[in-house]
Amino acid sequence: MKKVLSLLLAGVMCAGLLAGCGQTTPSSTAAPGSTAGSGDSTPANKTIDTLRVAFVPSREPDEIITATEPLKQLLTDELAKLGYDVGEVDITVGTSYEAVGEALSAGTADVGLIPGGTYVLYDDGCDVLLTATRDGLSIDSDNAKDWNDNAPTEPTTEQVTGYRALMIAGPSEKGKALAAKVNAGEALTWEDVSGANWSVANSSSPAGYIYPSLWLQENFDKNITELPHAVQSDSYGSAFARLASGQVDVLCTYADARRDYVDEWTGEYGMTNSIWDDTAVVGVTPAIYNDTISVSKTSPIMDDDFKAALSEAFINIGNTEEGKEVIAIYSHNGYLPAQSSDYDSERAAQEMIQSLNSAG
């Protein structure tokens, strides 16, 4: 099993590396149906009454809605240049990751900004268009102690197509005990981790569930469902709130999450020390392929021409400062074209998780 996991996780890292090589940004094209060099004979733009864009609740829903409000006009403007007049851009946040996947499959959402794990679960009903790029981090080590010795993590100018999941211990007595053992260079045991209260995300979340489960399998030959004290948080914000209050000792999250919640830690969550002083990394996964922009296969407005225009519109938005401010809510910095096979390693991970859950 460990050999299989090693090959699988190596494949994830390779997939992330390949995504950054050999792919090109589509060049601008004439509006669908236009004729180059025909002067005034260029047809009028096609009309889209409503474009429905759904986000997963990886941050607080109100925060996502507020941050992405400018995206409505940005998309409208970019699509107009590419041959489509959009009457309204409707942005919603799903009640869960699965809810967004189901909306794409049902055609009640046209576009979804979803993790790779959610995409592969619902790829019968949606197509992947783009993969997000993120700022790299100043720390990128397999060793949890390195993250603690060199904290805080800082962004770099390098753009990456993958990110790590971290298991982060909080300021509770048990959390501090786990951190002390890791920082002393000692390996954690199953008794150590099973005795802690864990916060996990829903089962389609790569950083909050899937890859932490693979980490448990690799290190302890255990499934995440075998953790006797685990609760599912509906967002990373609520997970960090629980960590700060001591309701949980460890949470599973993406590598730069503490940077995203540094202000809430001493503000909304009422902590005296900084998040970097109160928390420590106790586990690290290999790289996870970045989030997707995926589109519904059953949406009545989605054809090849419009998908091409959407792809170019999002890429163009990600190349502007105003656009970067909007997509920063998901720690995205830009977008590159994607294809279904980029997420084959994620499919393998999902299959293993489902197999492990069935066995359990």
Residue 7 in this model has a pLDDT that exceeds 60: no
Residue 205 in this model has a pLDDT that exceeds 90: no
At residue 350, the pLDDT reads 78
At residue 5, the pLDDT reads 42
Q: How confident is the model at residue 277 (pLDDT cuts 50, 70, 90)?
A: very high
346 vs 194, higher pLDDT: 194
Quote the CA–CA distance of 198 and 195 in Å, as a whole number. Answer: 9
Q: 15-47 burial by CB neighbour count: b if 16+ within 10 A, else e?
A: bbeebeeeeeeeeeeebbeeeeeeeeeeeebbe
CA 51 → CA 28, 86, 207, 292, 299, distances in Å? 21, 7, 29, 18, 10
Six-digit token pair at 307? Answer: 């998908």
* Percent of residues in the chain assigned helix, strand, coil, to nearest 5: 45, 20, 35
Q: How confident is the model at residue 40 (pLDDT cuts 50, 70, 90)?
A: low
Mean of the per-residue pLDDT values of the chain: 88
Quote the CA–CA distance of 324 and 346 in Å, as a whole number. Answer: 26
At residue 131, the pLDDT reads 94
Residue 21 in this model has a pLDDT that exceeds 60: no
User: For the segment 335-346, what is each residue's pLDDT rounded down to a tens digit?
Assistant: 999 999 988 878
Question: Mean pLDDT over residues 270-297, rounded?
Answer: 95
Per-position DSSP letters for 52-115, written without gaps between them: EEEE--SS-HHHHHHHTHHHHHHHHHHHHHTTEEEEEEEEEE-SSHHHHHHHHHHTS-SEEEE-
pLDDT > 90: what percent of the chain?
72
Per-position DSSP letters for 265-284, written without gaps between them: HHTTT--SS-HHHH-EEEEE
Reduced to 3 states, what is the DSSP secondary structure of residue 149?
A: helix
The torsion angle over the Cα atoms of residues 173, 179, 184 and 188, rounded to 10 degrees, is 100
* Range scoring the smallest mean pLDDT among 21-30, 39-48, 225-234, 345-354: 21-30
294 vs 159, higher pLDDT: 294
Q: Are strands 155-160 and 165-169 parallel, antiparallel or unpaired?
A: unpaired
pTM of the model: 0.64
Greatest mean pLDDT among 56-60, 123-127, 287-291 lies in 123-127
At residue 359, the pLDDT reads 65
Q: How confident is the model at residue 43 (pLDDT cuts 50, 70, 90)?
A: confident
| 188 within 8 A of 282, measured Cβ to Cβ | yes
Q: Are strands 165-169 and 288-289 parallel, antiparallel or unpaired?
A: unpaired
* Residue whose entry in the numeric block shows the structure tokens 């932490």: 212
Six-digit token pair at 21? Answer: 């090589």
